[in-house]
Structure 1
Amino acid sequence: MKKILFLCMALVLFAVPRADAAPKWQEVADRIAQMVDQAVSVYETGDYEGARDLVNTSYYGIYEKEGLESVMRSSVSAKETSLTEYQFYKVKKSMKNGESVDTVKQEAEKLKSMVNDNVKALENAHGSSGWAAFLPAYLILLREGLEAILVLVAIIAYLKRAQDEKHLGTVYNFSIAAVVASFISAYLFNTLLNNTTGGMSREVLEGATALFAVVVLLLTSAWLGGKANKDNWKQYIDGLVKESITHGTARALGMAAFLAVYREGAEVILFYQALFNNAAADVTMIWAGFGAGCVTLALIFYGMQHGILKIPLRPFFLFTSILMFLLAVTFVGGGIEELQEGGVIGITRFEGWPTVDLLGIFPTAETLGAQLLVLLLGVGMVIYAKRRKPKAA
């Protein structure tokens, strides 16, 4: 548990408040509106590319960088946040397609209205008390940390069950390396790159990392599922004790931990930086929310780890295999969504469909299609394993 608390603390120490920046959410909304209006004016001159660049800056450099997107998603409504993000996309799409000025203005006005609605929703949800700083700090850490905790729990429980705890250090070292890599990435995105380039690069990197993690999680899921097909559980464990887990396998498990932590790490740091910048006098409540989030994650980690270890051996392997697979489905949805935000993949939205951010479910054909492919791949893996079983027996 000490390791988990250390990882949580390390993730946010980088996000120290800046005394020279303390805008409120309405000020953020006003800045977005000004830049969107400027984009429309530029569009009227015929500079379509310049207009789109300004909309990109209003999204990546203000809506996302200043933390309005993350606070809305974590503490108010993931669905409303996704709708607002989609409206940014619609404004850019109308400009790219060379729509009439009236059409572009209509989409821009709708966007400004939705951003203002975001701010009102935040005010209604949090009011002006310290809870307005506490709740986002708590919920952001909880939401972003939970997926990483689930991966770590499954890996650590497996190593303990296999009586090969000497490789736990490898997993923890990879996790700490992910925190260091998160610091570096956050610095690059926040300091060296400009608002638009940095935001787009961050989304693309997060999306690519998530998709790479999907591959690792699927391989790990298949590997753990294969262990559940052993006929002699005691003999298998005895073999692990004698031969131990290979260094290659340990590194593969460590890489899964690295990707799980890194995928969330830089994002958490940048989210907290935005919270501190918007905190004014509520910095203490942000730290309180952070502390409560760390304690909650540590309790979840402790409870799940000890609960999993009490599961009989065959169900244990099946459970951890299924957990890894479900996380792969979640990661692929989130990864595609990040690439959509980065402008790499288009958006075909299903109006009225729900958004379940925690499960990586977003109402677009691209995200749902990718998740369906992973589900079909999982079914194929199970069928293949069952057909191989009689031959191996």
Structure 2
Amino acid sequence: MKTNVLILLFVCLVMADLAIAQSQPSAVPADRPTRQGVTENYGPVVATIIQRGDAALENYTPALAVVTGNEFSRLYFDIFETSGMEFTLGLKDNAHMLKIESGFSLMISQSMRGEPKEKLLKAWQTMKVDLNYAVEHYSSGDKATSFWGRTTQSFVILFREGVEAMLVVAALVAYLRRSGYAHKVKVIWYGVVAALIASVGAAWILNAVIQASGSNKEALEGITMLIAALVMIYVSYWLTAKSDADRWQTFIKDNLDKAIGTGGMFAMGSVAFLAVFREGAETILFYQALIGGSTGQLNAIWTGMALAVVALSIVYVIVRFASIRLPLRLFFSATAILLFAMAFVFAGQAILELQVSRYVPTTALDGWPMISWMGVFPTRETMAAQVLVLLTLPAGLLWLKFKKKNRQQIQQVAQVPGS
């Protein structure tokens, strides 16, 4: 019940923020493109991107590296993103949208570094194929989106953005309940409510400044995902350590109060906050774009939201039910694995967002696959971040093994008479 109330609260906050945003006068500079809501007619957008990209590369020399890099940056933020193509394509095929986003990142970084023209042309040809593929397979032309088409888009936004956060929150709540600390669950909900409020604030601020610097949204997403990945790694090992206790009941009696009192609860509350905050601000911006391009279709958007609330509630109930049925150690281990896997995905996606924002360079790995749902992208920087995450696995397990052995030695000494 509490979960349903929080989801409905978030939906109300979304609509309140949209009303405020629409009532405010625009502060966008006159020389900067304004956001156009959404478009599903990708032909004109792609034609503009290709025409300007071809022109930029035709005149390219290493001496014009910065000029060319800035042009591809503008093509991403002022055309691909501002037109709404990034948004609607992401609803239809998020993997392909991320592939194009990765291509922009590569073009910006390579041109900024003054790479040879032949290398840029090769990357550009690949990217043009991806852009034309989007036109051929996902563009709706000039046809208006139907009621159920808009409903589906609205549903996908809330469900896709909310399901990851829902899984994390449900797992943490179940962990505390099964540990005999149901009264501590409120800390998780405090984190969720704080994240919902912070999401609205962040979206409002981003909405005010994003036109002045389109990279703000991607940079915020990247930084938030990096922080979330770090906290999730910490909590995953914290949970692993608890599941490895030889006698759970003894652990509960002797250690859990201390663990919770010295940072465990703060860490779990932080995970709940970051999981919801990461999705919340982006969800509001998505709905702003959807409503901006959906004249007379608000009922469809509300219908999609309502269906998503029902679906998310079902997911929460399933997770809660499964958490009760699973053996305790298996449940804790599964929760730790879920958080670690999400940290791995977040690390790759975070670096990609920072690459598009030009805060992190992009070095292509030729022949390396792109697996978007795993956050795997063909660049050295994204792979390096994920390798670092993976390296924490053996390091963390060795540390836990050392701590367990040390604890056993202390217990043996304590049992020796006269010690």
Q: In which range does the TM-score fall when normalised by the shorter chain?
A: 0.7 to 0.9
When residues 24 and 353 of structure 1 are mapped into structure 2, their CA distance, relative to the original with a 3 A threshold, is same
1:283-338 Cα offsets, whole Å, 9 max, x none, are 32222222222221121112102211332222222222222222211221221222
Indicate conservation of the 8 Å contact 2:37/2:289, yes or no: no
The answer to whether the 8 A contact 2:98-2:372 is kept is no
Q: Of 134, 146, 149, which aligns to 1:129?
A: 146
Aligned length: 389
Instruction: Return the offset for 1:241.
Output: 8.6
State the identity %: 30
- Of 292-301 and 356-365, the range deviating more from structure 2: 356-365
Distance 1:99 1:238, change over 3 A: closer
The separation in 2 between residues aligned to 1:164 and 1:25, in whole angstroms, is 49
Unpaired segments ≥5 residues, structure 1: none
2:179 matched residue in structure 1: 162
**In the aligned structure 1, how far is the partner of 2:91 from the partner of 2:242?**
37
Moved more, 84-93 or 336-345: 84-93
Distance in 2 of aligned mates of 1:324 and 1:333: 15
CA distance in 2, matches of 1:324, 1:233: 21
User: Partner of 2:310 in structure 1?
Assistant: 295
* Aligned residue in 2 for 1:147: 164
More deviation in 84-93 or 160-169?
84-93
**Partner amino acid for 1:339?**
L
Alignment of 1:321-360 (within 5 A): 321-350=336-365, 354-360=369-375
Q: Residues 89-108 of structure 1 correspond to what in structure 2 (within 5 A)? A: 89-93=105-109, 95-96=111-112
What secondary structure, in the 3-state scheme, does the structure 2 residue paired with 1:163 have? coil
1:311 to 1:239, Cα distance in 2 relative to 1, 3 A:
farther
Q: Does 1:84 align with 2:100?
A: yes
Q: SS at 1:246's partner residue? A: helix
- Distance 1:82-1:105 versus aligned 2 partners, 3 A rule: same
Report deviation, 1:90: 4.6
TM-score (norm 1): 0.84
Partner of 1:392: 407
After superposition, the Cα gap between the structure-2 partners of 1:232 and 1:280, relative to the gap in structure 1 and judged at 3 Å, is same
Q: Flag the structure with larger Rg.
A: 2
Q: Supply the RMSD in Å over aligned alpha carbons.
A: 3.6
**Aligned equivalent of 1:221:** 236
Correspondent of 1:231 among 219, 234, 246: 246
Looking at structure 2, the residues matched to 101 and 225 of structure 1 have their Cα atoms a distance apart, in angstroms, of 50
Residues 134 and 358 from structure 1, CA distance in 2 versus in 1: closer, same or farther, beyond 3 angstroms? farther
Structure 1 residues 91, 326: closer, same or farther in 2, change over 3 A?
Answer: closer
Matched, 1:58 2:66: no
SS of the equivalent of 2:339 reads helix
Normalised by the length of structure 2, the TM-score is 0.79
Gaps of 5+ in 2: 24-34, 409-419
89 and 321 in structure 1: CA distance in 2 versus 1, 3 angstrom threshold: closer
CA change 1:41–1:371 in 2 (3 A) is closer
Asked if 2 retains the 8 angstrom alpha-carbon contact of 1:74 and 1:143, the reply is no
Worse-superposed segment, 100-109 or 12-21: 100-109
> Aligned to 1:362, what secondary structure does the other structure show?
coil
